[in-house]
Chain A
């Protein structure tokens, strides 16, 4: 214990004398930037994914013009996915001698898998509520336009095809409303169990089936990979990436760009850390020789200095995490007009990533020069010109290239590209 105290005391004296200021600053900058970027892209990505899923009312949708094979649905169940279905078709409604083309949406149980429905039971909207299920059997939800156009009110009967249903809700919001032709026609929503009785679906009808799935990202991915080769040209797979590819690639690009620029910051900090440590090391040759002369063993020397650096690294990294958190908040504030209003909260994982970066960068760049201290000969107390061997170039390069390579790999998730960048650099 007393040796740890000794290390801390030496560290305290060194930091007071300003010797480690550059090193601490470089470390704080590296951790701040990587924490800020990790938090920023993590929050943005999770927000976008959540929003996109809501936009689909599911994580994955098969869009087709005829029902799909039963065993596909069984397979989805095997993957542990939740399922729902909707069927869209246009239909002409006639009530009180008024005619209106409406967009019918038939929904199953569990719809919507993601996102919510909003509806009201009074025409003045005062009782608008959030709902997680669509209409029950025998009831119909309509957009308000329908009531005025067909001279109806809540509680009246509305016939869809051949089936009269009772109007129970005015629909005010549905998550997966598509910006296509139908959106000009007012919406009518009914339960799947009433579909057959309407007798609306005839050969040649313009019908869209949406088979919706939700579940763990990994399960969704596996199901998607299983499904993809089996689709025919009229069956479309829709997910966040397929449905809005521009969003997916923009996100990916932004993350790569930010990530790669943070690598540059880390690299510069790493060089500053290596240089500061080298200077620190050289200024400690004499003190080390004396400690060795007084009976310190080589391992103890290494431990003495590396424990100082670990404490220092942990403190500087923790501070960097806090600063990174603030930087990320400021970034979101500055960009708030461009970004979604509702952001998911920052994740602890991203903060931990920043902290890890700090410790790893410090070790990778400070270790080779620090290791020289272990080699200082006690004879230096009598012969000042005696210097330990320079840090092994092999160790210096492999550690720094290793760390940078891992970071590039993390941001590009592309081994080939990583190899190219490292090879070119």
Chain B
């Protein structure tokens, strides 16, 4: 009881009986059911599972990109499930960083502008200085004015890492961040990700198929057919 309470008070993500079901032409599809999770601040968690098991769906719910069909989610003590879309948007900007498999940089903007974007959205006056130093940190000091088209996949993912850490998020979600990269480039990106994570003491939720990568996280959550096993 004592340990349980302690854990709860330190929890940055807390879910209770979380479920997601969608109605399709063949009836109701239960993508996730009965997910109870406690993730503590600063923890690094790997989510693994077969393709189609519901990993992306789980992080989309935890990050407030989608709404659950049942259960509740608390982020840093705030009930995500009670917020409306705009509230969740504000919370995402405040608390959450993302790294995607497909990088998701805005093609029209330079590397620097892409990293400045989340800072500008929150009205940060020092957006440019912060973004420049982060691009420096990921080794792209010479590529500030290049657009995504002029960068390799690995370089684009570095820009995405810089963007994800720019707002010093409390939680970082990474959905197969090396999925589109060759193994060598993937490894450097992962090293960089873990370094930045340590420096910023971010809570990391990493979706991956790679057991070696999962082993680098403090804890592994396996999902099978929508349930934690």
Contacts and interface: CB of A to CB of B under 8 A. Distances in A.
A2 B120 contact: yes
A17 interface: yes
A382 B175 contact: yes
A14 interface: yes
A94 interface: no
Contact of B56 (A286, A296, A382): A382
Contacts of B108: 10, 13-14, 17, 287
B187 to A, nearest CB: 24
Given A290-B104, A294-B118, A379-B66, A2 B90 contact: no
Interface in B74-115: 85-86, 89-90, 92-94, 98, 100, 104, 106-109, 113
B47 to A, nearest CB: 13
A293 interface: yes
B93 A9 contact: no
Contact of A381 (B104, B113, B118): B104
B65 A379 contact: yes
Interface in B50-74: 56, 59-60, 65-66
A178 interface: no
A295 B121 contact: yes
A2 B121 CA distance: 8
Given A14-B108, A296-B89, A382 B65 contact: yes
Nearest to A378: B65
B120 to A, nearest CB: 5
Contacts of A381: 65, 98, 100, 104
Contacts of B100: 381-382
Contacts of B175: 382
B85 A293 contact: no
Contacts of B92: 293-295, 378
A292 interface: yes
Contacts of A9: 109, 113
A317 B198 CA distance: 54
A105 B56 CA distance: 98
A297 interface: yes
A297 B94 CA distance: 13
A416 interface: no
B106 A296 contact: no
Given A17-B108, A382-B60, A295 B90 contact: yes
B30 interface: no
Contact of B106 (A2, A287, A297, A298): A287
A117 to B, nearest CB: 69
A298 B121 contact: no
Given A9-B113, A382-B175, A295 B104 contact: no
Contacts of A379: 60, 65-66
A6 interface: yes
B122 interface: yes
Interface string B116-147: 01101111000100000000000000000000
By CB atoms of chain B within 10 A, which of A13, A290, A294, A377 has the most?
A: A294
A293 B94 CA distance: 11
A298 B89 CA distance: 9
Nearest to B122: A295
Nearest to B102: A384
A296 B60 contact: no
Contacts of A293: 65, 92, 98
B117 A294 contact: yes
Contacts of B93: 294-295
A3 interface: yes
A96 interface: no
Contacts of B94: 295
A286 B102 CA distance: 11
Contacts of B85: 297-298
Interface string A252-296: 000000000000000000000000000000000011001111111
A296 B121 contact: yes
A378 B89 contact: yes
Given A2-B123, A286-B104, A287-B106, A295 B65 contact: no
Interface string A372-383: 000001110111
A14 B109 CA distance: 10
Interface in A362-408: 377-379, 381-383
A218 to B, nearest CB: 52
A3 B122 CA distance: 10
Given A378-B65, A381-B100, A294 B121 contact: yes
A199 to B, nearest CB: 92
A292 B85 CA distance: 10
Contacts of B89: 292, 295-298, 378
Contacts of B120: 2-3, 6
A140 B60 CA distance: 100
Nearest to B104: A290
A381 B103 CA distance: 10
Interface string A1-33: 011001001100110010000000000000000
B31 to A, nearest CB: 11
20 contacts: A2-B120, A6-B117, A6-B120, A10-B106, A13-B109, A14-B108, A287-B106, A287-B107, A290-B104, A292-B89, A294-B93, A294-B118, A294-B121, A295-B89, A295-B94, A297-B85, A298-B89, A299-B86, A379-B65, A381-B104
Given A294-B118, A295-B93, A378-B65, 6 more contacts: A3-B120, A6-B117, A10-B108, A286-B104, A290-B104, A383-B60
